[in-house]
Structure formats: structure tokens, C-alpha cells
């Protein structure tokens, strides 16, 4: 099955889950992140859209605890991350996804210690299936810290779909726990 067909199936599967079910799964994932995050000064994350693991509660928690929070903004064919100070620093941008407003400070990839990444699907090798625009694939080429996928366990697929340009994440947090590469890891993220 090609990526386009797989992506369409996974989005349909994700969209079939009720809001009530997703809220319960989001709470579990948020608890795992809170327990495992470790001490960091700066995180990158995304503004969740319909069906994705909700990030707004985590963003609020990080902001209130003094962690620098950065979200992506699409600029032409690339994606850059900008620090927000409040949720009101976001406005509808590319594809209607909330992005940092003009005036937010650009953050170099080297400053972001943990990057939380949305997924349409994932496989055992920790490759992510995204929406197909390639923005994360391009960004991850220059990102050398912890790459964390956020997904629901039902988004896992058994087939290999990755291509040469795809970059796996270091771990995936789901409602069933944390999936790591087979390399050794610490007890916190």
C-alpha cells in the first residue's frame, strides 16, 4: 500500500474515534509526558488539530512552569519554530493550523531540547506517517536533540512505509506507554 492510501486510511480511522474517547486518551498521554519529561528549558511542539493528540494542556503547563515553548510556523517551503509566551500568541496560519504570530522570537533548532511531533501513523521502526507535506522531514535533518512522536496506540501500522528521506523519531508516547528504539534509554525522556 502506498503512503497516500495509508495516510487516507489512518486519518479516517483517527477521525472515527469519538471526542470523549480521545479526551481520555489525551489525559493518559499528558500524564506520561508530565511524569517522564525530565528537566528541560525549551520544548518544541505543535498546535493540535482535529484528531491529533491534544497539546494545549501541555503547552499551558509548560508556559506556567517557565519552560520555553516553541511552535512551528510555515514560511514558504520550510518550517521554523518560534517561542510563544501565551496561547494568544497563536493565529490561524497555513492550512488553518495555529502558528506563532509575527513578533514571536525565532528559536534555532539547537536550542530545542525536546521536539514533540504529530503523527498520522507510525510503525515499529518509529517512522512517522505525516500529512504528506514534508515540513517535519525537512526540519528534522537539522535537528539533533530528542524527537518525540505523539500518537494514539491505534495509529500503529504493521507495514514499512518509510522512504530514504524519512527520519525516525527517538521515541513515541501513546496511551499505552512509551515506545523506544532498541537502543538503551534513561527512565526519563
Q: Which residues are annotated as a binding site?
A: 3-7, 52, 128-136
Closest to 180 in 3D by CA, of 56, 3, 32, 66: 32
Residue ranges of the binding site for ATP: 3-7, 128-136
DSSP E strand stretches across the chain: 42-44, 68-75, 78-84, 90-92, 98-100, 105-107, 114-118, 121-122, 128-129, 146-150, 171-174, 177-180
Give dist(CA 100, CA 131) in Å, integer.
20
- Binding positions for substrate are 52
CA–CA distances in Å: residue 77 to residues 13, 134, 135, 143, 172: 29, 9, 7, 17, 26
Amino acid at each position: 500500500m502506498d503512503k497516500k492510501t495509508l495516510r487516507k486510511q489512518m486519518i479516517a480511522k483517527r477521525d472515527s474515534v469519538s471526542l470523549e474517547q480521545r479526551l481520555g486518551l489525551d489525559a493518559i498521554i499528558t500524564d506520561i509526558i508530565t511524569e517522564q519529561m525530565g528537566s528541560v528549558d525549551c520544548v518544541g511542539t505543535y498546535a493540535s488539530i482535529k484528531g491529533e493528540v491534544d497539546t494545549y494542556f501541555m503547552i499551558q503547563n509548560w508556559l506556567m512552569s517557565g519552560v520555553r515553548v516553541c511552535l512551528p510556523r510555515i514560511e514558504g517551503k520550510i518550517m521554523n519554530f518560534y517561542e510563544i509566551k501565551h496561547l494568544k500568541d497563536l493565529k490561524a496560519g497555513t492550512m488553518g493550523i495555529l502558528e506563532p504570530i509575527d513578533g514571536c522570537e525565532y528559536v534555532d533548532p539547537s536550542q530545542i531540547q525536546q521536539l514533540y511531533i504529530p503523527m498520522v501513523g507510525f510503525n515499529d521502526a518509529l517512522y512517522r506517517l505525516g500529512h504528506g507535506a514534508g515540513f517535519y522531514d525537512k526540519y528534522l535533518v537539522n535537528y539533533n536533540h530528542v524527537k518525540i512522536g505523539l500518537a494514539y496506540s491505534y495509529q500503529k501500522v504493521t507495514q514499512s512505509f518509510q522512504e530514504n528521506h524519512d527520519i525516525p523519531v527517538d521515541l513515541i508516547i501513546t496511551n499505552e506507554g512509551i515506545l523506544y528504539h532498541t537502543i538503551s534509554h534513561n527512565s526519563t525522556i
